[in-house]
Amino acid sequence: MRKIVFFIGWLTTLAHAGVKIDHWVAPSGARVYFVETHALPILDVAIDFTAGTAYDPMGKAGLAGLTRGLLDAGAGALDEETIAEQLVNLGAQLSGTTDHDRAGLSLRTLATTREKEAALILLRTVLSQPNFPDSVLTREKARMIAALQESDTRPDAIAAKRFSQEIYPNHPYGRTTTVASMGSLTRDDLLTFHRTRYRANRAVVALIGDVTRAEAERIAQFLTESLPTGEANDDLPPVQMPVKHTVNIAHPAAQSHIHIGMPAISRLDPDYYALLVGNYTLGGGGFVSRLVSEVREKRGYAYSVYSYFSPRRFEGPFQIGLQTKREQAAEAIKLVESVLTDFVKTGPTAKELAAAQKNLINGQSLRIDSNAKLLGYLSAIGFYGLPLTYLDDFPAKIKAVTVDQVRAAFVRQVKPEHRVTVVVATDE
Amino acid sequence: MKRFLFPLLIFTHCAWANPFETQLSNGLRVIVREDPRAPTVVQMVWYRAGAMDEKDGYSGVAHALEHLMFKGTKRLAAGEFNKRVAEAGGRDNAFTSLDYTAYFQIVPKAALPEMMALEADRMANLTLTEKEFSSEIKVVMEERRLRTDDNAQSLVYEALHSTMFQAHPYRRPIIGWMDDLVNMTWKDARTWYRDWYAPNNAYVVIVGDVDHSQIFKWAEKNFGRIPARSLPVRKPQNEPAQKGVKRVNVKAPAKLPYLTMAWKVPKLKDVERDTEPYALEVLAAVLDGNDAARLSKNLVRGSRIAQSAGAGYDATVRGEATFLLDGQPAEGRSITELEAALQAEIKRIQDGGVTEEELTRVKTQIMASQVYKRDSMMAQAMEMGRFEAAGFHWRDLDRMLVKLREVTTTDVQSVAKKYFNDDTLTVATLDPQPLDPQPLDKVATKNPTIAPRH
C-alpha cells in the first residue's frame, strides 16, 4: 500500500533537455513532432485533436468522451471484435484520452515491419472511418449512465464534479455529463462531432521510437490523409470568475472531501513558471510542501493533501484538495486557508524557493528517461503551441524565478474574492 | 493464424540487460541491472516482511512502520529523507503488501551514492518516538477511511479475504483493522522494526545507468557494517482445506452491486517442475488478459449481463494463491445472474477448452509486454523485486516465460476442470444502499470499521 500518491501536478512533469525534436507540417495539414530513437524496437504514436469535453454542444455533455471511446467500436469494414482481436494478435496497445481541451488515441507497437504496418493501418482506420454502430452505441450509453449513477454515490466524484461546476458557472469547463445529456446522444451527434473535430488540419501527431525521419513523415501523412475535413470553431466563451462561496453537500462518508480553488491560468500564461515554482512549496512538492507539512505531518489530519495548477487552453483551475475525518473538517479547512493566505501574502522563503528550484532543475533527467514520457511532452508541445525549445529552456526558466515573481503571480491568480470551497460529507 | 515470431533472446540476454548480483557478508543481496538508456537510476530496498507476518491484534503494523521509516534516524530529522530526495531532483515512495515492504527512489544517477547511504541509515538507525507515532497513526487511519471505509468495493474485498481464510494470515487487511490501529503503540512499531529490518531479511534492486562493480563497492561501504540478526520464526499457517462454499454480503452506499468469487488454487513453487500455475496464468489471461479476452467479449459486449467483469491470478506469492473473478451486473441484471454467467464461462472452458488462437494471443501479449517493459526502469526493478519477494531467484524469470510459452490448450482445460468447484469457492457481494443525506449517527462515525448505516 503506497505511503502517498504523488501530487506533483501536471505542471511539474513537463520538462526536459537535450532531446532533438523534429517538427514539420504533413501535406494533410497535421502538425508533426518526432523524436528518433533506436534504443528499443518499439514505436509510440499519439494523435490529438481539439475535441475535448469543452466542445460538447449545449445539452450534449458526454459527447466528446463517447465519440473518442467508440472510435474502435467498429470502423471501415471491421467490427469491434475484429479490431480488438487484430490489435491483440499484433501485440499492439491502443489507448485513448479525453480531457477538457483535447481528445485522441495513442498506439504502442513493436517496430518490426509486419506488426508495425498492420497496427498503423488499424489506427488509421479507427481514426478516419469510425462507424459508431447503433447497437454498440446503445450498449455503451447504458454503461456510461450506470457508471455515472455509481459515481454520483461516491464522495470523491461528487466533490470533483461539483467543484468544476461551481468554479466555471456558465462555461463549458464547468459542464458535466448527466443521465439526460448522455441519454440524448445519437449516432448523428457522434458522426458530426467526429467529422468536425477530428480533422487533419487540427491534428497533432507525436511520434517517438525506432523509425527514421523519412519513415515518420510517411507514417504521419498515412495516418492523417484520410481524416475528415469539416469545419468547427475552436473558441470558447471567456471564463467568468466565480464569487467567493462555500457549498456543503450531505453524504454519509466517514471523511469529508474538500476542494478549494478557482480558475487560474492558461497554458501560455506568462505566470506559468512562477506559479509552478511557487506551488511546489505550497502543495505541489509532496512531503516537502507547506500543506503536507502542516496538515499531514504536524497534525495527522489527512492522508492526502495537495495543491496544483492545471493550465488549459483557457483559464484552467487552481485547486487544493484533501480528505479528513468529518468531525475535524472545519478545523482542517481553517488551517488550509491560513496556509494559503499566508503563502499568497509572503511567498516562499529564499530557502524554500531554492529547494523548489533544485528539485525542478535536478529532476530534468527523470522526465526524459522513457519513450512513454517523451511522447506526452511532444503531444503537449504540439497541442498548446509551446516552443520547440521548451524542454531545453526549462531549467533556465525555473532558475530565473524570484520570490517577488512568485508572490506577484499568486496575488494575481489566487484572489480570495474568487475562492470557492466545496465540502462533501459534512456536518455543517 | 500466423505464429507470432518474437526475438525473445535478444531482449533477455543482451549485455546491458543482464543483471549482476552480490551478497554481503551480513546476508544483504544486491541485484543490479545496467540500463544506460537514460542518466537515471531506480533504487529499491525490499524487506521480506509484509502484512502476512503480523499477529492478531497487530494488524497494520507493517504498513504503519513503512510510514514511520520517513520519520527520522539518529542522523536525520523527521522529513529530512524526503527533503534530500527532493533536492536531488528525485521521487521516492514506499509500499506494503501482504508479502513484503519495499522502498524506492528514482533519481538522477549522480544522486545514487547519497540514496544508498540514506537507505542504509534507516535500515539500522531509525528513531521511533511516541510523538511521531501518535501523529502518523492518525494519517494511517485517514488512509483507511479513504481507501476502505468509504469505498464499497474495498469493503467487499476485505470481507472476501477475511471470509475465505480462517487460519492463513491473508485474512487480515494490509492496512489493518481500525480497532488494531486505534490500539497500536509506538512500541509495537519498534518491535516490528527490530524483528524484521535486518540486512539478512532484505535485498536491494538497482536498475539504471550504473556500473555494477561500483555499486557493489558502495553497497559494501554503506550496508556492509549493519550486523545480521536472527529473525523470528515464521510459522506456515497453511489454510486447512475448505469444505463447502462460503458466502458473505456487505451493505454500503453505492448504486451498482458488486460480486467477487475466489477459488483456492495452487501457487508456483518449483519453476521447472510445476505446470498448473502457468496454466492458471494463461486461463486468467484468456478470460481477462487483453481486449479480446472472453469475459468482456462475452459478458459485457455480448450478452450484456455485465457492466464490468474481470479475472485475476498471481502465481508468485508467499502465502496462498487464489483465482478471482469479479464484476458488476449491468443495469436491470442481478448478482445472481452475473454469478451464473461467470460460472458458465468457467464451465465452457471445462467442457470445450480454449482455442489455439486464444492461447497464441495470450503468449503474444506476454512477449510484447516484455519488450515494452524495457521502456520503464521502474517496471524492470518491480518485476525482479516481486519475484524475489515470493521466494524465487530473478534468474528464473526467463525460465518462467519459457514455461508459460509451453502451456497447451489441454493444460488450461485441465486446471479449469480441477480447481473450479464450489467446495473451495468464496463469494463476497455488495448490496448497494441508497445514499441517505442525513449525517451518520455518532456511533457509526466514531467506529468507522462499521460500514456507514442508514
The answer on A341 and A273 residing in a single domain is yes
Would the CB atoms of A89 and B361 count as touching at under 8 Å? Answer: yes
Taking the C-alpha atoms of residue A302 and residue B136, their distance in angstroms, rounded to an integer, is: 10
Containing structural domain, residue A266:
245-424
Strand, helix or coil for residue B78: coil
Q: What is the pLDDT of residue A58?
A: 94
Return the number of other C-beta atoms located less than 10 Å from residue A356's C-beta.
28
Question: What percent of the residues of chain B are helix, what percent strand, and what percent coil, each to the nearest 5?
Answer: 45, 20, 35
Q: Do B38 and A81 touch (CB under 8 A)?
A: no
- Per CB-CB distance under 8 Å, the chain B contacts of A326 are 445
Strand order in the sheet with A245-249: A245-249, A420-424, A255-263, A317-325, A305-309
The answer to whether residues A35 and A178 belong to one domain is yes
Q: How many residues does chain B have?
A: 454
Does position B364 have pLDDT exceeding 70, yes or no?
Answer: yes
pLDDT tens for A3-44 read 433 332 233 332 334 789 999 999 999 999 999 999 999 999
How far is residue B72's CA from residue A25's CA, in Å, rounded to a whole number?
Answer: 54
Please give the residue of chain A at the shortest CA–CA distance from B209: A369
Grid-cell match 458526454, residue found: A62
The complex's ipTM?
0.93
CB A350 within 8 A of CB A403: yes
> Which among A93, A288, A301 has the least Cβ separation from residue B83?
A288
**A370 shares its domain with A267:** yes
B449 pLDDT above the threshold of 50: no
- What ranges in A129-228 are assigned the alpha helix state H? 134-151, 155-167, 179-183, 187-197, 213-224
Domain boundaries, chain B: 27-222, 246-433
Averaged pLDDT for residues A333-351: 97
Contacts of A251 in chain B (CB under 8 A): 253, 435, 437
Q: Are A282 and A345 in contact (CB under 8 A)?
A: no
SS3 B428: strand
Minimum mean pLDDT range among A299-303, A373-377, B25-29, B436-440: B436-440
Task: Examine the pLDDT at A2 and tell me if it is beyond 50.
Answer: no
Residues A349 and A400 in one domain: yes
Backbone angles phi and psi of B133, in degrees to 5: -65, -45
Q: What is the pLDDT of residue B5?
A: 38
CA–CA min distance A201, chain B (Å): 31
Q: Answer whether B152's CB lies under 8 Å from B430's CB.
A: yes
Q: Say yes or no to pLDDT of B287 above 90.
A: yes
Q: Which of B82, B365, B437 sits opposite A91 (nearest CB)?
A: B365
Q: Do A365 and B371 touch (CB under 8 A)?
A: no
Given a cut of 60, whether residue B427 has pLDDT beyond it is yes
**CA distance to partner chain A, nearest, from residue B448 (Å):** 7
CA nearest B331: which of B431, B259, B257, B254? B257
State whether B365 and A88 contact (CB < 8 Å): yes
pLDDT digits (tens, 9 = 90+) for B81-118: 999 999 999 999 999 999 999 999 999 999 999 999 99
CB contact at 8 A, A288 and A266: no
Q: Determine, yes or no, domain membership for A166.
A: yes
Q: Is residue A387 part of a domain?
A: yes
Instruction: Quote the CA–CA distance of B270 and B399 in Å, as a whole number.
Output: 11
State residue A199's pLDDT score. Answer: 95
**Contact A370/B39, CB-based, under 8 Å?**
no
Within 294-313 of B, beta carbons closer than 8 Å to A belong to 297, 300-301, 304, 307
The pLDDT tens digits of the residues spanning A40-59 come to 999 999 999 999 999 999 99
A173-211 residue pLDDT tens: 999 999 999 999 999 999 999 999 999 999 999 999 999
Nearest to B142 among A1, A149, A255 (CB): A255
Over range B232-255, report the average pLDDT: 96
Contacts of B142 in chain A (CB under 8 A): 255, 300-303, 323-325
Residue from A8, A81, A88 to probe the interface with B (highest B Cβ count within 10 Å): A88
Q: What average pLDDT does the segment B291-298 reach?
A: 97
- Look up B130 and say whether it is catalytic: no
CATH topology of domain B246-433: Cytochrome Bc1 Complex; Chain A, domain 1 (3.30.830)
B368 interaction partners in chain A (CB closer than 8 Å): 91-93, 110
Does residue B113 belong to the interface with chain A, where contact is any CB pair within 8 Å?
Answer: no
B34, B54, B66, B132: the active-site residue? B66
Q: Do residues A175 and A251 both lie within one domain?
A: no
* Residue B131 touches chain A, beta carbons under 8 Å: no
Q: Using a CB-CB distance cutoff of 8 angstroms, which residues of chain A are in contact with residue B328?
A: 146, 150
Same domain, A206 and A60: yes
pLDDT greater at residue B148 or residue A428: B148
Spatial contact of A95 and A106, defined as CB atoms under 8 Å apart: yes
Provide, as residue numbers in chain A, all residues whose Cβ is less than 8 Å from the Cβ of B78.
297
pLDDT, average across residues B156-162: 98
Element (H, E) at B103: strand B101-108
| A286 and A189 within one domain | no
| Confidence (pLDDT) at B62 | 98
pLDDT value at residue B2: 37
* pLDDT exceeds 90 at position A232: no
The structural domain count of chain A equals 2
- Option in A6, A155, A427 nearest B439 (CB): A427
Q: Mind listing the pLDDT tens digit for each residue in A65-124?
A: 999 999 999 999 999 999 999 999 999 999 999 999 999 999 999 999 999 999 999 999
Rounded to 10 degrees, what is the CA torsion of A395, B380, B372, A21? 10
Q: Which ranges constitute the DSSP H helices of A225-349?
A: 272-279, 290-291, 329-346
Residue A62 pLDDT > 60, yes or no?
yes
Q: Which residue has the higher pLDDT, B254 or B17?
A: B254
Question: What CATH code would you report for B27-222?
Answer: 3.30.830.10
CB contact at 8 A, A16 and A391: yes
Chain B residues in contact with A252 (beta carbon < 8 A): 253, 435-436, 438-440, 452-454
Same domain as A259, residue A152:
no
Q: What is the pLDDT of residues B319-345, one digit of tens each?
A: 999 999 999 999 999 999 999 999 999
Q: Is residue A325 part of a domain?
A: yes
Q: pLDDT category, B61, cuts 50, 70, 90?
A: very high
* A3 inside domain: no
How far is Cα A50 from Cα A377, in angstroms, rounded to an integer?
Answer: 17
Secondary structure of residue A419 in the 3-state scheme? coil
Question: Which residue in B38, B147, B452 is closest to A368 by CB distance?
Answer: B38
Report if residue A208 sits inside a domain: yes
**What pLDDT digit, counting tens, does each position of B115-139 carry?**
999 999 999 999 999 999 999 999 9
Specify whether A305 is located in the same domain as A376: yes
| Interval B440-445 mean pLDDT | 33
Q: Residue range A241-250: average pLDDT?
A: 97
User: Shortest CB distance from A146 goes to which of B307, B371, B438?
Assistant: B307
pLDDT value, residue A56: 97
Residue A14 lies in a domain: no
Give the domain-ending residue among A189, A224, A259. Answer: A224
Lowest mean pLDDT among A361-365, B12-16, B246-250, B323-327: B12-16
| Closest Cβ opposite residue B142 in set A42, A323, A362 | A323
pLDDT at B18: 80
* CATH label of the domain that carries residue A413: 3.30.830.10
Q: Which residues of A touch B453 (CB under 8 A)?
A: 252
Task: Tell whether A231 is covered by a domain.
Answer: no
Q: If you write DSSP's letter for every residue of A362-413 in order, what string do you get?
A: HGGGGGGSSHHHHHHHHHHHHHHT--TTHHHHHHHHHHH--HHHHHHHHHHH
On whether any CB of chain A is under 8 Å from the CB of B242, the answer is: no
Please name the residue of chain A whose CA is at the shortest distance from the CA of residue B38: A369
Q: Looking at beta carbons, which residues of chain B come within 8 Å of A253?
A: 150, 253, 452
Residue A379: inside a domain, yes or no? Answer: yes
pLDDT at B443 over 80: no
Residue B112 exposure: Cα atoms within 13 Å on the Cβ side: 26
- Asked if A40's CB is within 8 angstroms of B371's CB, the reply is yes
Cell matching residue A306: 495537495
> Hey, is the C-beta of B377 within 8 angstroms of any chain A C-beta?
yes
Distances (CA, A) of B94 to A377, B201, B340: 27, 17, 40
Residue A230: pLDDT band by 50, 70, 90 thresholds? Answer: confident
Question: Of B53, B48, B65, B52, which Cα lies nearest the Cα of B181?
Answer: B65
Q: What is the DSSP letter of B49?
A: -
Asked if the C-beta of B255 comes within 8 angstroms of chain A's C-beta atoms, the answer is yes
pLDDT, mean of residues B378-391: 97
| A412: CB partners within 8 A, 6+ apart | A271
Residues A249 and A359 in one domain: yes
Q: Do A253 and A196 lie in a common domain?
A: no
pLDDT interval class at B437 (50, 70, 90): low
Q: How far is B200 from chain A (nearest CA, A)?
A: 23
> Do residues A405 and A256 share a domain?
yes
Provide the 10 A C-beta neighbour count for residue A345.
Answer: 10
